[in-house]
Amino acid sequence: MTDLFEHDPVMVDEITAIFDAVPAGTVIDATLGGGGHSHALLTRRHDISILGIDQDADAIAAALERLAEFADRVRTSRRRFDEIPEAMAEHGITEVSGALFDLGVSSPQLDRAERGFSYRNDGPVDMRMDDEQQWSAHDVVNGYERDELVRIIRQHGDERFAKRIADAIVGARPVESTTQLAEIVTAAIPAAARRTGGHPAKRTFQAIRIEVNSELDVLPTALDQAIEATVPGGRIAVLSYHSGEDRIAKQRFSLAAGACDCPHDLPCVCGAVQTVRVVRGVAKRATPDEQTRNRRSTSALLRVVEKTEPIPKGIGPSGAA
């Protein structure tokens, strides 16, 4: 099991440096996966523990095996990452020193053909991060109306040929395997466009996976929960791999940093309160060396905020300071 989930965690040096500054306590690894980031954090900091959250039972089992040497400092919870308060309550945790979100699909999930995430390996059209969930990619690919397919492929995949791809999928139904789906998508894209940008089916598979797992729907709530649970001086870091994910992280962090729409030349009357300071105003990318070594890091974007004591940005509607 551990071998299957062995992979290089993305931007691990940057992540460990970020959490060097947080107070002693519990750090939430909201996307535990194989435990790579958690292993690095536990090795580096002897005064922190990890609360690992993941929907995938195999990932949790592999992470516990990998983190066995730190068993007394590791707790896990099998749930979605927008259930942070429930995960904390499960283990009697009332506050945390930070949280890490490594979004997207893990390399081990892609490598297991039976999970249906990969356009390179033949498997069922599945893509569920939680295999107990009833809804799968099969329902999306074979059940969505053409216009709905266009919407999710364009919105979640940034795919400019969404209409052509949706028409091809509808025309080829039923679609039963990932290789069949990949071939349909590839054939729908003009030959000239297939020569650049990686595998032609990559964006469509990403879009369907995001839809199946409601990834963009739950992320704002999860980030707000992490900010709320973190003590002053703690940090929240997000590794995203898709423009929609990064946009949400930027928006939630900006809001928590006290952003408001009041005119700059007038006092703030919206009641905005700053609860974080932005550590990285511009998303950081992996180094060229890491991008060469670790293919998954090529699209990674890192954003970080640090929790502060609440700081009112201006006066409230009543005129109180």
The predicted structure's pLDDT at residue 195: 86
- CB count in 10 Å sphere of residue 163: 16
Angstrom CA distances, 8 to 74, 119, 250, stand at 20, 21, 25
Of 210, 198, 277, 278, which Cα lies nearest the Cα of 240? Answer: 210
Distance CA 181, CA 42 (A): 41
- List of residues 6+ apart from 173 with CB closer than 8 A: 141, 142
- Sorted by where each starts, the structural domains of the chain and their CATH numbers stand as 2-107+215-312 (3.40.50.150), 134-212 (1.10.150.170)
8 torsion bin: left (phi>0), alpha (psi -120 to 50), beta (else):
beta
Residue 262: per-residue pLDDT: 73
State the average pLDDT for the chain.
Answer: 91
Q: What is the pLDDT of residue 266?
A: 73
What pTM was estimated for this model as a whole? Answer: 0.88
| Helix or strand (DSSP H, E) at 312 | strand 301-312
- pLDDT tens digits in sequence order for the chain, 321 residues long: 444 445 689 999 999 999 999 999 999 999 999 999 999 999 999 999 999 999 999 889 999 999 999 999 999 999 999 999 999 999 999 999 999 999 977 666 767 889 999 999 999 999 999 989 999 999 999 999 999 999 999 999 999 999 999 999 999 999 999 999 999 999 999 999 998 878 999 999 999 999 999 999 999 999 999 999 999 999 999 999 988 999 999 999 999 998 776 777 777 677 788 999 999 767 899 999 999 998 889 999 999 999 999 988 754 443 333
Q: How far is CA 24 from the centre of its chain?
A: 25
Q: How far is CA 194 from the centre of its chain?
A: 27
Place of tokens 């650049």: 196
Percentage, residues of the chain above pLDDT 90: 79
SS3 for 97? strand
